[in-house]
Structure 1
Amino acid sequence: MTNKHVKQARRLLAILLSASMLAACAGPKTPAPSETSSAQYEQYKSENVSVQNQFDALTQTIFKEELKNSGLDLHYTLADPASRGITEVPDTFGEFSLGNMKKNYGEMQDLKKALGSIDIKKLTKEQKLTYKILSSYLETELSSEGLELYAQPLTSTIGIQAQLPILLAEYTFYSKKDVDHYLALLSTIDTYYGQILEFEKEKSEAGLFMCDTAADHVLQSCEAYLIQPDHSFLAETFNERVDALTDASPEEKAAYKEQNLAVLKEHFIPAYKNLIDGITSLMGTGTNEKGLSEFPQGKQYFEYLVKSNTATSYDSVVKLQKAIEKQLNSDLKALGEIVQTHPELVDALDTYAFQYTKPDEILETLKGQISKDFPALPKCSYKVKYVPKALEGSLSPAFYLVPPLDRYQDNVIYINGGTRFQNEDLFPTLAHEGYPGHLYQNVYFISNNTCDLRKILSFSSYSEGWATYVEYYSYTLDNGLDPNMGQLLAHNAAISLGLYALLDICINYDGWDKGQVKEYLGKFYNIGDSDVADTIYYSLVENPTNYMEYYVGYMEIMEMRNTAEKILKDQFDLKAFHTFLLDIGPAQFSIIQPYFRLWLAEQMDQ
C-alpha cells in the first residue's frame, strides 16, 4: 500500500537554500599561483563534506516524509519510529484521491529542483548512486502526470481490497501501544475505502472504469471478507497476537478482543459492503474488454508502467518485447535440446521428487550450498510459519514478510498449507522466498547500506527478478534431482513466466483480444482450452506489468551474467558477479548497467 510518489517537506527548499548559501559564503578565494595548494585542497574537501551532509539531510527528510501519512507503512518500516526521530504515528492509511495525486506531482517537481541544486560531483560514491537512483525515479514518476485516472487501485489479486486485510492480519504487536494504534488504524478503513470508491467514480465518468468481468473478480475478492466478526480471520489472528503480549494483563487482553470485534463490525464489514455496492452500481460503465491500449492514452500509461514497475534498461516497449522474445527463445531452445538428448525426462515429469521436503531442512540445506556462490550474511534468524486456515484461499504458496528496517535480523517466511498447493515444489519456492532469495537479499542490503531512503524506495523488478533468478538457480543444486531434470524444470519455469510477460505486451500495448491470445497459445504452445486462455487474458488485462516485474528482472540479470561469462570466460567468478548485484542493491537496471560495465572492466584488469 506504499504510495510510490516521494513526498517533500515544506522546509526542504529552505534547508537546501541555506546550505547552498553557507557553502558559497565559506568558499575559498582563488589563490594566487604562488600560494601553496594545501589550504586550497583542505577547503575544497571541507566544501565537499558540506554538500555531502546536505545530501544526507535531504534523503533523511524524504525518508521521514514518506512515512508520515500512513500508519501502516510506518509500522511495517520501523518497529521503533523514535529511533529515526519520528515521534508522531499516523492513525490513517493515508489519502487516496485525485487531488492528492496531483499535489504529489507538485511536490515531486519541487524535490527535483532541490535535487538539481546539489553538485553531484562533490558527493561520495554511494551518494552519487543514490542521487542517480532518486533522480531517475522522480523522472519516471513525473512522466505519469495527467494520467492519474489510469491508476488501478482495485484488482482481483494485487488490489488494495485484496491485500490490505492480509497486511492487517500480519501487523506485529510489539507492545500494547501497537494494539491501540492498530485499532485506531482499522477504524479508518471505511473512510479510506470511501476515498477509493470516489476515485473509481471519477474513473467511470472519464470512461476509464474496468470492464464488467474485471469488476466481477473484484467483487468476488471483496465478498470473501464479509465474514461475521467473531468468525473472521482478522479476529483469529488478532487474538493470537494479543495473547502473545507480555505487557498486557488478562483483563486488558480480553478488552482488546472485544474492542476489535466492535471495530470489525462497525468499520471493516461496512467498508467492504459499501465497496461492493459502489462497484456494483458502476458496472456497465466500463465498456473496454481489452487491454490498456484501447483507452485514449492507454499505450502511454502502459509505457509508464513498464518503466516504473520493471525499471528496465531498454528505452522502449518495442525493444523490450524483442529482448523478451530473445530470452524466451533461448530457454525454449535449451529445453528442446535437453528433451532431445534425454527423452526419458518427459515421462519422469510426473514422478520426479526433491530430496529435501521439510521447510527448515530445505532452508538449512540452501544456506549451506549457496555459500560457494554467494557472500556471507551477518547474523540473522528466521521462523517458518504456516498461513492461517482462513487465509489459505487468498494467498500464494509462500511469501516472505519483509521485517522493519530496525529488526532486519528477525525474518519470517510463511507457507500456505492449503490443498491447492500440495503439489508445489517447496525447494525452489523457499529458494525464492528465503536463501538466496528475498530473505537473503533483503538482509544483505539492509545490513550493508546506510541510506534509509534507499531501503524504502521500491524497485520490485530488481527484488523479484533476483528471487526468480535464484529460484531457477536452485534447480541446479544438489537437491536430489537428476541434474538434467533440474535444468529442464528451470527452463520450463522460465518459459511459462516469459510467456505471460510477452502476452502482457501483446494485450496491453499491441491490442490483442481474447481470440488472438487463444490462437497464439494453441499454435505455439498447444494450449487449446478456452478457459485457460481466458484466465490468462483477464489476469493480464487486470494486472498490467505484474508478471513482467518478475520476468524482466530475471532477464536483465541473465543478460548481464551471459555477457560476463562470454567476455571473462575462465576468469568469470559467479560469487563476484552475485556480490556486485547485491552490493549495488535495488535500483533501476538502466542505472545498474553502467556500473556493471565498470565492474566488468575491473574484472578484466585483474
Structure 2
Amino acid sequence: MPKISLKKSLITLAIATTLVACDNKPFGENEPAKTQSTTESHKHVTRAELDKTINTYTQNFMTLQPALATSLKLSTSIAGSYKNKWPDYSPKGMLALQNSMQNSLNALTAYDLKTLNDADQLHLKVNQVIAKYYLGDQKFKAGYIDTWGGHLPYIVNQIAGPLIDIPKLLQDQHNIENKQDVEDYLTRLNGLVDLIAAVKSKVLTDASNGIILPKALFPNTLGYLNNYVAMPSTEHSLVTSLINKMRPLKSLSDEQKQTYANTAINLVTEKLYPAFSDIKETMISLEAKAPPEDGIWAQPNGSEFYKHEILYLADSNLSPDKIHEIGLAEVNRISKEMDQILKSQGMNAGTIGERMVKLGEMPEFIYEDSDEGRTKLLADLNTEIDKIMLEAPSLFNTIPKYEVLVKRIPVVSQDGAAGGFYMPPALDGSRPGEFAINLKDMKAQPRFSLKTLTYHEAVPGHHFQISLNMEQTDIGIMRQNGQFNAYVEGWALYSEQVASEMGMYKDDPWGNLGRLQAEVYRAARLVVDTGLHHKRWTRKQAIEYFHNATGTAMSDVEGAIDRYMAWPGQALGYKLGMLKILELREWSKKQLGKKFDIKVFHDLVLLPGARPLTILEADVKRWVAKTK
C-alpha cells in the first residue's frame, strides 16, 4: 500500500493545532500565587540563592513523600529518614502538603525573572509550575495529591491511589540489601494499617462533603479490595516478595530469614487483611450513596475542578467544547487513513470500528490465552525494543543509559488497570525502566497493536523522555521527576509517529493500522473525556462512542472509560501534547529549511527536561532564532 504522507497529514491538522497554539497559556497564569509581601516580591537573586530556595522546597516536599523517595532511591540528605515511613493521606496530611507547597510557591515567586539568564529563568519557572501542580485545586477539598497525577478527585478507586500504589511500591521498589532494610520493610508493612486508616478518614471526610466515587466505578474497586485479601497470607505478594528479596542475603541466617518471613505472614493475617476488609466495608456503605452520574460535573464544584484538571493535565486553557471539537475532527481524519489501509487489504464492508473489531478477532493476530502465550508475547516485545534501539540513532543524538524491560501487570490489580504503563528506573540506575502490560484479556492485545504500544510506553516514548529527564543531574530532583502530563504523554504519542518515520512499520500495513488505531484512540479520548465531564454523557454513551470509533475490544473500552471517569482530564494530554510538538516541529522546519536537524530538535525537546508546552514553545522559538 502507498505510504501515508506526513506532510499531507500535518496540513489536515492545521486548524486543530492552531487552536491549541493560540489558546495555550502557562499553568495557573490566571491564578496568580500569593506572595509573602509586596516588599519581598520580585527581588534580585543569584543562582546560589535560587538553588538554596529550591533545595529547601525540594526537601520539604520529599520529606512528606517517603514513597516517592523510595521509588527514586534518594539520599537521606534530600528526603530525610524515609525508608520505614509512608505519606499521610488523611485530611490533615493533604492540608499539610498543600500548605508546604503554598509556602514554597510564595518563596519561588518572590524573585525577579528578568535578572536571570535563560537557563536560570527556565529552572525557576518550571519549579514554580511544579509547586502549583502539587498545590492542587484548593477550592476542591476532596481527593488527594498524587506524585504522578497531581490533584486527583477520588482517593479510593479501581485504577490507582494509595491502596493500590503503595503496596505495589513496597513489593517492587523497597530495596533490601541488609538486616535494616528487612526491618524497615516490616515496619512499613505494619504501617500500611495506619495508612489505610488515613485513607478511610479521607474518603469519609470527602463523602461528608458530598463527593463520592461514581456508582459505576464501585464494582471493580470492590473487586480489587476483595482480590487483595483472597489468597492465603503465606502466598501474598508482600510475603513472597520479602522472602525472595532476603534469599540472596548472606548476612542473614536461614533461621533469621524464616523469623522475618513469619513476622510478615502474621502482619498480613492479623493486621493487613482486617484493615483491607474494614475499608472494603466502608466502600460498600458508600456505594449506596454514590452518585449515579458518571462525570465530575455531578460532584460539588466539579465543573470548576474539571477546568483545573484541563489546565494542569492537558496544559491548556481551551474550553471543553473546543477540545471536544478537535477530538471529533481528529477522529474523522485518522479514520479516513485507516479506511484506506483496510480497503487496500481487502476489508471493505462495515464501519471502521466494525472492521477493526473483526480484525482483532482473527486468530493470526491473537496470542494464545495461556502461560506460554503470555511468555511469548513478553519475549516478542523485549525483542521489539532491541530492534528499535538499533534504529534510534537515525533520529536521536542522545540515547538513555538506563535499560527498559517489559513485564506483566500483576494479576491481583489487572482488572482495573490500563492496557499498559511505564514505571521509571531508579535514579542511580539500580532498577531499570519497566513497561508493564495488561495480559488479562489476550484479545485486547492483538499482535498488530503491540509494536505501537511498545514504542509509546518504552522506546522512543516514555522510556526515552523520562530516563533522559532523570539523567539531567543539574536540574534538581523536582525537575528530574517533573510530571507534565501533556508534555510527557504528548511525547509518547508523538513517538509512535517517529517510530514510523524510522521505518519500523515498513512492509507492515497491519502494524501501521495498529499505529493509526492507537492514534484514533487518543483522539477519541478528547471526545469521551469532555463528553463525560462536561457534556454530561453517561458511561454507556461514552463506551458506545469509543468502541465504534476505535474498534477496540469491549473489555479494553470499558476499562478505558472507567479510567477517564476516575481521572478527569488526564486523557486529554496525549493528543493535545502531540499536536503541539508536531506543530513546533513543522514550524521549525519551515523557518530553518536545510538548517533544520531532527536530532537537534529532539535533544531540544528532551534534554532540558519535562516542562509546560508554553515553555517548550519558547525554547523552540529561541533555538530557531539562534540557528538562523
Q: Give yes or no for TM over 0.5.
A: yes
Is residue 2:511 matched to residue 1:508?
Answer: no
The alignment partner of 1:358 has SS state of: helix
Is residue 2:164 matched to residue 1:162?
Answer: yes
Q: 1:433 to 1:542 in 2, by over 3 A?
A: closer
Q: In structure 2, what residue type is equivalent to 1:116? A: T
**What is residue 597 of structure 1 aligned with on the other side?**
621
Question: Any idea what the Cα deviations from partners look like across 1:302-326, whole Å, max 9, x if unmatched?
Answer: 111122223x244443443344344
Q: In structure 2, what residue type is equivalent to 1:231? A: E
Asked if 2 retains the 8 angstrom alpha-carbon contact of 1:175 and 1:247, the reply is yes
Q: In structure 2, what residue type is equivalent to 1:460? A: N
Alignment of structure 1 residues 1-150 onto 2, 5 Å: 51-78=46-73, 81-82=75-76, 84=77, 86-89=79-82, 91-139=84-132, 144-149=137-142
Is residue 2:201 matched to residue 1:198?
Answer: yes
Cα distance in 2 for residues equivalent to 1:483 and 1:225: 41
Question: Any idea what the Cα deviations from partners look like across 1:163-182, whole Å, max 9, x if unmatched?
Answer: 33322220232333222212
Cα distance in 2 for residues equivalent to 1:90 and 1:528: 42
Q: 1:129: Cα distance to partner?
A: 0.8
Q: 1:475: Cα distance to partner?
A: 4.4
Q: 1:130: Cα distance to partner?
A: 2.0
Q: 1:369: Cα distance to partner?
A: 0.5
Q: 1:75 to 1:533 in 2, by over 3 A?
A: closer
**What is residue 283 of structure 1 aligned with on the other side?**
287
Q: 1:466 to 1:388 in 2, by over 3 A?
A: same
Is residue 2:301 matched to residue 1:297?
Answer: yes
Is residue 2:444 matched to residue 1:444?
Answer: no
Alignment of structure 1 residues 313-328 onto 2, 5 Å: 313-328=316-331
Q: In structure 2, what residue type is equivalent to 1:254? A: Q
Cα distance in 2 for residues equivalent to 1:371 and 1:589: 25
Asked if 2 retains the 8 angstrom alpha-carbon contact of 1:504 and 1:545, the reply is yes
Q: 1:460 to 1:239 in 2, by over 3 A?
A: farther
**What is residue 219 of structure 1 aligned with on the other side?**
222
Cα distance in 1 for residues equivalent to 2:190 and 2:54: 32
The alignment partner of 1:193 has SS state of: helix
The alignment partner of 1:367 has SS state of: helix
Question: Any idea what the Cα deviations from partners look like across 1:69-105, whole Å, max 9, x if unmatched?
Answer: 34322211225x14x4555226332212333333444
RMSD: 3.7
Q: 1:261 to 1:316 in 2, by over 3 A?
A: same
Question: Any idea what the Cα deviations from partners look like across 1:260-305, whole Å, max 9, x if unmatched?
Answer: 1122123321221111011112222223423111234111001111
Asked if 2 retains the 8 angstrom alpha-carbon contact of 1:409 and 1:443, the reply is no
Alignment of structure 1 residues 402-421 onto 2, 5 Å: 402-407=424-429, 410-414=432-436, 420=442
Unaligned runs of 5+ residues in structure 1 are: 1-11, 25-47
Is residue 2:190 matched to residue 1:178?
Answer: no
Asked if 2 retains the 8 angstrom alpha-carbon contact of 1:518 and 1:533, the reply is yes
Is residue 2:235 matched to residue 1:231?
Answer: yes
Cα distance in 2 for residues equivalent to 1:247 and 1:206: 52
**What is residue 28 of structure 1 aligned with on the other side?**
none
Q: In structure 2, what residue type is equivalent to 1:487? A: N
Alignment of structure 1 residues 239-254 onto 2, 5 Å: 239-254=243-258
Q: In structure 2, what residue type is equivalent to 1:434? A: A
Is residue 2:362 matched to residue 1:362?
Answer: no
Q: 1:549 to 1:190 in 2, by over 3 A?
A: farther
Identity %: 19
Cα distance in 2 for residues equivalent to 1:553 and 1:120: 26
Asked if 1 retains the 8 angstrom alpha-carbon contact of 2:397 and 2:599, the reply is yes
Q: More deviation in 269-278 or 557-566?
A: 557-566
Question: Any idea what the Cα deviations from partners look like across 1:34-77, whole Å, max 9, x if unmatched?
Answer: xxxxxxxxxxxxxx8x6210111111222222121343222112
Q: 1:398: Cα distance to partner?
A: 5.1
Q: In structure 2, what residue type is equivalent to 1:261? A: I
Q: Of residues 449, 453, 463 in structure 1, which corresponds to 2:478?
A: 453
Is residue 2:399 matched to residue 1:377?
Answer: yes
Cα distance in 1 for residues equivalent to 2:550 and 2:575: 22
Count residues in correspondence. Answer: 560
Q: 1:67 to 1:113 in 2, by over 3 A?
A: closer
Q: 1:552: Cα distance to partner?
A: 3.2
Q: 1:329 to 1:576 in 2, by over 3 A?
A: farther
Q: In structure 1, what residue type is equivalent to 2:189? A: L
**What is residue 29 of structure 1 aligned with on the other side?**
none
Asked if 1 retains the 8 angstrom alpha-carbon contact of 2:61 and 2:100, the reply is no
Is residue 2:519 matched to residue 1:494?
Answer: yes
Unaligned runs of 5+ residues in structure 2 are: 1-34, 144-152, 349-354, 368-375
Cα distance in 2 for residues equivalent to 1:572 and 1:170: 43
**What is residue 307 of structure 1 aligned with on the other side?**
311
Cα distance in 1 for residues equivalent to 2:558 and 2:517: 22
Q: 1:328: Cα distance to partner?
A: 3.4
Cα distance in 1 for residues equivalent to 2:464 and 2:454: 11
Q: 1:588: Cα distance to partner?
A: 1.5
Cα distance in 1 for residues equivalent to 2:265 and 2:552: 48
Cα distance in 2 for residues equivalent to 1:300 and 1:556: 25
